[in-house]
Structure 1
Amino acid sequence: MTNIYDILLERGYIKQATHAEEIRELLGKEKITFYIGFDPTADSLHIGHFIQMMVMAHMQKAGHRPIALIGGGTAMVGDPTGKTDMRKMLTKEQIQHNAACFKAQFSRLIDFSNDKKAVMENNSNWLLNLNYVDFLREIGVNFSVNKMLTAECFKKRLEKGLSFLEFNYMLMQAYDFLELNRKYNCIMELGGDDQWSNILAGVDLIRRKEQKPAYGMTFTLLTRSDGKKMGKTEGGAIWLDKDKTSPYDFYQYWRNVDDADVEKCLALLTFIPMDEVKRLGSLKDSKINEAKEILAYEVTKLIHGSEEADKAKKAAEALFSGEANNMDNVPTIQINKDDIEGTIVDIIVKTGIMPSKSEVRRLIKQGGLTVNDEKVKDTNAVVTLDDFKDGSMLIRRGKKKYNKIVVK
């Protein structure tokens, strides 16, 4: 039977590991418990979390037990990693709501039917009742401030000023690993490569406090071939919640990835066998569109289910084959008749198709906005009820992003 470590390596997940050979041997002979942390800072996961979900799913399929740790305690402090500004702090009620949303999305890929298969924990269960002096004596004594200040996660924040509140974050994350180790015999922490410093801190803490092995592994961040993070569009993040990013827009995002990113996305974000991934990734010119369609369908099916993936695929095919009358599955926004006043810029922002007027104006100046098959040239063009043919207006951004506005 193939070692799950080799599968993760071949598919391109693994970036760094604390003890690569030991981890490979361990995963091949034992069924372990591992964890990945998620900060509940929104009411939906986005595609930046998708790799972490896929790793949990691969590991669970191989018989290992994932713990999805919700950072209910750490979210009340704010993780400085990768941020130049301090994150806003959330209320307990917001955190509980967001955690419930996360679990529903995790459950698309992870089986939470009983605690032997997977666990969802919340670090507020131990962090919020900590005695600060006891914490300093038991945990703080194991950390060198000099060493902490060399960690990549603090460097950016030091330029603007790192609060003492945030400086505690590494200790709290390390303590999470220790608590999970004691409670569930969790011996490995996984996370994005930006979490390497925090993961090392937890591994070191367990080895010091418990005198037993602990391991850490990071996986690659989801980036495009130009090095930028995937999942950012002019409309903001690509969310896994269909009310935040429609299944059609979700499908279209993957349908339109750069040719150079297709093979990587197929390997990381689908369960398609690697032989087929390599074949699809090697297609050239117009044939690469076959691979993009498979990528878009498979990823949409994983997150939104077969029915929504089928709808998105049919809608895309209808639009691009010129069947403009087949608009049933295009993302649709309703608008009240009384709200149809103002410019096309106002209407697009009002309906949430794009987030800001400046971005709509920029798109118009670049020649990228079409309304009912006519290119918009004037940023001050006024919209009237006459622009709604049979009660609807078709908006196209660029070549492939469609929305329909319907009058209620």
Structure 2
Amino acid sequence: MLKDFIEEAKWRGMIHDVMPGTQDCLNQEMTATYVGFDPTADSLHVGNLVQIMTLVHFQKCGHKPIALVGGATGMVGDPSGKSAERNLLDEDTLQHNLKCVQKQLEKFLAFEGNNLAEVVNNYDWFKEFSFLEFIRDVGKHITVNYMMSKDSVKSRLESGLSFTEFSYQLVQGYDFYYLWKNKNVKLQLGGSDQWGNIVTGTELIRRKGQGEAYAMTTPLITKADGSKFGKSEGGNVWLDAKKTSPFKFYQYWINASDEDVVKYIKIFSIKPKDDILNLIAQHQEAPHLRLLQKALAEEVTARVHSKEDLELAQKASDILFGKSTLDDLKSLDEQTFNEIFEGVPTANISWDKLNNGLNIIDALVAESEFLKSNGEAIRALKQNAIAVNKTKVAKDYQLTSQDLINDKYVLINKGKKNTYVLKFED
């Protein structure tokens, strides 16, 4: 049974522009739609999630989603939203990126069932398409005046636009035409900056194929503070755990502002409308509990990574905010440990110091200079203020290799506010 995709997208705040007649088309039959993904890196990032989720919701409404990875268009370069010509990638790099991107898309879309998802690569239909054939069979249907009217072109005329990038909208337009003709694709989805490229495709379908096709774009997602969605201090928030760890990924969502998270949960959660509205109401009654942030972070982290990665990220978050046990610390991998305690005062100490045991006072003063004197260390220990790996210790405590986390680190706390790390190396 088909559900109203436009209505679903509308209440979730996912529509910027939609071509008249789109809903009528979707109501008539199961329709295929596609979104293009640019393989300029070997991982998608959080910014791509908006388009991924449009396909997810589209499929849940009973339609067929197609994710197009641009093996051909990645060799050209889309001028939309760009202020300068970008570097083009070689074919080997593109093929590697395509495989990585496809693997990530498979975590979101169902590839079994009546309206199974499909991943296509436009290189497959462009690789045998000669330049002369292209300008004869495609270029003659779209005028230069029409192409010049697009914002993506006009905004670059002063700074310079190569013929390569100028031709991009024709290449993307042909993608739409090819999928319309061969896979019954009636709708293309994309970000608001893609409107011009998408409608070029609908125009090509009308002129070359005497057919009808439709367009819908999503709004640019911005953060309440004006910063760019999908960015952190370290740059893009990637879906690849090697580029952005599950802990940092989880933290990105947990740290969303109250204003932003109301918008985010509608877009990035697959929970039904009533559940989301109920969560929003609970959140607004007690925003300090951060119920929305937790619900969203849990759902998205588990989907992008795994339930196991989510649990580790939650443990790491508890450690970060002082709610943890020794077992939690011992469960951390080295990368996550370093990310949690990034910026914490750290002392490098020779492994040999542990051979006969290292007294806690020497560790705090002579070896690390975390505390100024033995007297200060003794007073803190008598006040039961010193903890080794979250366990309070006395002045006669000896550090040994048994205390090491990841065979290298010891966590020291002085009271609730002071945290130090001892790093033992050869």
What is the Cα deviation at residue 305 of structure 1?
A: 2.1
Matched, 1:170 2:169: yes
- For structure 2, the 5+ residue unaligned runs are 351-366, 371-387, 389-403
- Equivalent residue for 2:255? 256
Choose from 344, 347, 372 the match for 1:371: 344
- Equivalent residue for 1:182? 181
What is the letter of the counterpart of residue 119 of structure 2? Answer: M
Matched, 1:207 2:206: yes
* Secondary structure of the corresponding residue to residue 111 of structure 1: coil
Instruction: Return closer, same or farther for 1:369/1:332 CA change in 2, 3 Å cut-off.
Output: closer
**Alpha-carbon distance in 2 for matches of 1:329, 1:222:** 36
What is the Cα deviation at residue 180 of structure 1?
A: 1.0
Question: Considering only CA atoms, is the larger Rg found in Structure 1 or Structure 2?
Answer: 2
- Equivalent residue for 2:123? 124
Contact map agreement 2:250 2:301 (CA 8 A) in 1: yes
**Alpha-carbon distance in 1 for matches of 2:333, 2:223:** 26
**Alpha-carbon distance in 2 for matches of 1:68, 1:286:** 37
Instruction: Return closer, same or farther for 1:329/1:64 CA change in 2, 3 Å cut-off.
Output: farther
- Equivalent residue for 1:15? 16
- Equivalent residue for 1:234? 233
**Alpha-carbon distance in 2 for matches of 1:137, 1:25:** 34
- Equivalent residue for 1:217? 216
Superposed, 1:1-400 pairs within 5 Å as 2-19=3-20, 22-113=21-112, 117-282=116-281, 283-284=283-284, 286-323=287-324, 325=326, 326-328=328-330, 332-333=334-335, 370-372=343-345, 390=404, 391-392=408-409
**Alpha-carbon distance in 2 for matches of 1:199, 1:28:** 21
What is the Cα deviation at residue 57 of structure 1?
A: 1.4
Contact map agreement 2:68 2:122 (CA 8 A) in 1: yes
What is the letter of the counterpart of residue 335 of structure 2? Answer: I
What is the Cα deviation at residue 264 of structure 1?
A: 0.8
Instruction: Return closer, same or farther for 1:294/1:404 CA change in 2, 3 Å cut-off.
Output: farther
**Alpha-carbon distance in 2 for matches of 1:34, 1:334:** 39
* Secondary structure of the corresponding residue to residue 266 of structure 1: helix
Instruction: Return closer, same or farther for 1:209/1:252 CA change in 2, 3 Å cut-off.
Output: same
**Alpha-carbon distance in 1 for matches of 2:252, 2:200:** 36
What is the Cα deviation at residue 147 of structure 1?
A: 2.9
Contact map agreement 1:332 1:404 (CA 8 A) in 2: no
Instruction: Return closer, same or farther for 1:370/1:132 CA change in 2, 3 Å cut-off.
Output: closer
**Alpha-carbon distance in 1 for matches of 2:126, 2:139:** 14
- For structure 1, the 5+ residue unaligned runs are 336-350, 354-367, 375-381
Give aligned-pair identity as a percent: 39
Contact map agreement 2:77 2:168 (CA 8 A) in 1: yes
Instruction: Return closer, same or farther for 1:322/1:307 CA change in 2, 3 Å cut-off.
Output: closer
Contact map agreement 1:331 1:403 (CA 8 A) in 2: no
What is the Cα deviation at residue 39 of structure 1?
A: 1.1
TM superposition score normalised by structure 1: 0.81
Contact map agreement 2:45 2:239 (CA 8 A) in 1: yes
**Alpha-carbon distance in 2 for matches of 1:148, 1:247:** 43
**Alpha-carbon distance in 1 for matches of 2:143, 2:136:** 13
TM superposition score normalised by structure 2: 0.77
**Alpha-carbon distance in 2 for matches of 1:403, 1:135:** 62
Contact map agreement 2:199 2:215 (CA 8 A) in 1: yes
What is the letter of the counterpart of residue 16 of structure 1? Answer: D
Contact map agreement 2:59 2:115 (CA 8 A) in 1: no
Instruction: Return closer, same or farther for 1:149/1:51 CA change in 2, 3 Å cut-off.
Output: same
Contact map agreement 2:173 2:204 (CA 8 A) in 1: yes
What is the Cα deviation at residue 248 of structure 1?
A: 0.8
Per-residue CA shift, 1:55-77, capped at 9, x if unaligned? Answer: 11111122211111111111111
What is the Cα deviation at residue 309 of structure 1?
A: 1.4
Contact map agreement 1:281 1:288 (CA 8 A) in 2: no
Contact map agreement 2:349 2:422 (CA 8 A) in 1: no
What is the Cα deviation at residue 286 of structure 1?
A: 4.3
Q: What is the aligned residue count?
A: 364
**Alpha-carbon distance in 2 for matches of 1:69, 1:403:** 47
Per-residue CA shift, 1:233-275, capped at 9, x if unaligned? Answer: 1211100011111111100000001111011111000112223
**Alpha-carbon distance in 1 for matches of 2:34, 2:289:** 36
* Secondary structure of the corresponding residue to residue 16 of structure 2: strand
**Greater alpha carbon shift after TM alignment, 105-114 vs 121-130:** 105-114
**Alpha-carbon distance in 1 for matches of 2:24, 2:56:** 20
* Secondary structure of the corresponding residue to residue 36 of structure 1: strand
What is the letter of the counterpart of residue 392 of structure 1? Answer: Y
**Alpha-carbon distance in 2 for matches of 1:201, 1:406:** 61
**Alpha-carbon distance in 2 for matches of 1:221, 1:407:** 48
Instruction: Return closer, same or farther for 1:243/1:406 CA change in 2, 3 Å cut-off.
Output: farther
Instruction: Return closer, same or farther for 1:88/1:67 CA change in 2, 3 Å cut-off.
Output: same
**Alpha-carbon distance in 2 for matches of 1:105, 1:67:** 14
Contact map agreement 1:249 1:331 (CA 8 A) in 2: no
What is the letter of the counterpart of residue 79 of structure 1? Answer: D
**Alpha-carbon distance in 2 for matches of 1:116, 1:123:** 21
